[in-house]
Amino acid sequence: MSFTIQSLLCVPLFVVLLCAVVIAAEDENSSEQAMFPAMFVFGDSLVDNGNNNRLNSLARSNYFPYGIDFDGGQPTGRFSNGKTIVDFIGELLGLPDIPAFMETIDGGVDVLRGVNYASAAGGILEETGRHLGERFSMRRQVENFDKTLIEISKGIEAVTEYMAKSLVVVSLGNNDYINNYLKPSLFLTSSIYDPPSFADLLLSNFTSNLLELYDKGFRKFVLAGVGPLGCIPDQLAARAVPPGQCVEAVNEMAELFNNRLKSLVDRLNSDNKTGRDAIFVYGNTYGAAVDILTNPIAYGFEVTDRGCCGVGRNRGEITCLPLAVPCAFRDRHVFWDAFHPTQAFNLIIALRAFNGSKSDCYPINLFQMSRL
């Protein structure tokens, strides 16, 4: 097996599910076993697998100790100690590791099993994350796919069928709060929009870009919600939250966006156009994360309010620095750094997206989607 799960094997709830991971990982390079022909990822640092390595950006993680538990213990540009949620989803679906878009621009890289366009600090809005330097917004990521489509058309005859059967994962919106709305000294959005109006703005822009992907030929979408941002070490440290609590005002903002995103899924699935030939799924990452944070022992976690690697209060005032010494028992921590979860957390979220209930993935999970 290509990743470590020894600390999770003691969690009875997931023993059976972990067997599914093992089976999928053993056949990950077999096209006949894959549940989707390819996976295309659009997102932020939660799923970035190295795109920002080649950008002039402060939002980079291509240095140790990032990747300490990844294959070979090397930093890859993933913002975790190991694998991301989409890494695990790919394994569950029987797909090989997919390249970052920036690795494909010079050619010579197989793009037929999918590409990851995610960019740390990127958001739904163009200006989100600008203080951190170069990044790909949602619009730019959609535009980058056009370059990939040219290569796909060279390698596949039945492009329409291929795209209709491929999986699209979209995980965006977190930075529009953390690196925009919640930074009033750098951005004007919080003085222009109240939280409901800002959520409306995000959803409008999100929908326009999403429908562009639909118009390009994709038909199977998983749209991940924003997580409980009021519980991440960065926010706990910045607002000096008492132990055991989260910043409820920030979590309520995330829920405003998520409620609209779930309604969008219902709307698109019942629409006369998109509802005829496509399926849109809402990934309730918020609910799954809150469940883990509320019941950490049941999932094998002991530390929920501070990063494994970081500086200051909650180890979240300054994120993980080069050559910093991280905590020893990383699989017992929910958070890896000030903003991002550990590999252990990512595995649980991936499993719930793969074959969880409607409360995890609505209206169907990834396994069910693969049968359509």
At 26, the pLDDT band (50, 70, 90 cuts) reads very low
pLDDT of residue 32: 58
| Contact status, residue 115 vs residue 98, Cβ threshold 8 Å | yes
Residue 301 C-alpha from the chain's centroid: 20
Burial 158-177 (b: 16+ CB within 10 A, else e): eeeebbebbbbbbbbbbbbb
Give the integer Cα–Cα distance in Å for 179 and 189.
Answer: 11
Catalytic residues: 45, 337, 340
Q: Omega before 363 cis (within 30°)?
A: yes
Has residue 1 got a pLDDT over 90? no
Are β-strands 279-283 and 361-362 bridged in parallel, bridged antiparallel, or unpaired?
Answer: antiparallel
Structure tokens at 86: 């989409």
Give the integer Cα–Cα distance in Å for 171 and 41.
Answer: 8
pLDDT of residue 33: 84
SS3 of the chain: helix, strand, coil, percent, to 5: 45, 10, 45
Are β-strands 310-311 and 318-319 bridged in parallel, bridged antiparallel, or unpaired?
Answer: antiparallel
Give the integer Cα–Cα distance in Å for 68 and 83.
Answer: 10
pLDDT of residue 223: 98
pTM: 0.93
Give the integer Cα–Cα distance in Å for 340 and 283.
Answer: 18
Residue with tokens 């890859």: 76
pLDDT tens digit sequence for 316-359 = 999 999 999 999 999 999 999 999 999 999 999 999 999 999 99
At 25, the pLDDT band (50, 70, 90 cuts) reads very low
| Contact status, residue 213 vs residue 139, Cβ threshold 8 Å | no
Closest alpha carbon to 351 in 27, 89, 90 = 89
R_g of the chain, CA atoms, integer Å: 19
Structure tokens at 251: 């979590």
Closest alpha carbon to 165 in 152, 174, 176 = 152
Cα maximum dimension of the chain: 59
232: CB partners within 8 A, 6+ apart: 178, 316, 335, 338, 339
Give the integer Cα–Cα distance in Å for 23 and 1.
Answer: 9
At 73, the pLDDT band (50, 70, 90 cuts) reads very high
Q: State the alpha helices, DSSP H only, in 15-121.
A: 15-26, 85-92, 101-104
Q: CA angle at residue 63 from 97 to 288, to 5 degrees?
A: 55
Containing H/E element for 333? Answer: strand 333-335
State the average pLDDT over residues 206-212. 98
At 50, the pLDDT band (50, 70, 90 cuts) reads very high
Has residue 120 got a pLDDT over 50? yes
pLDDT tens digit sequence for 78-93 = 999 999 999 999 999 9
Give the integer Cα–Cα distance in Å for 91 and 71.
Answer: 14
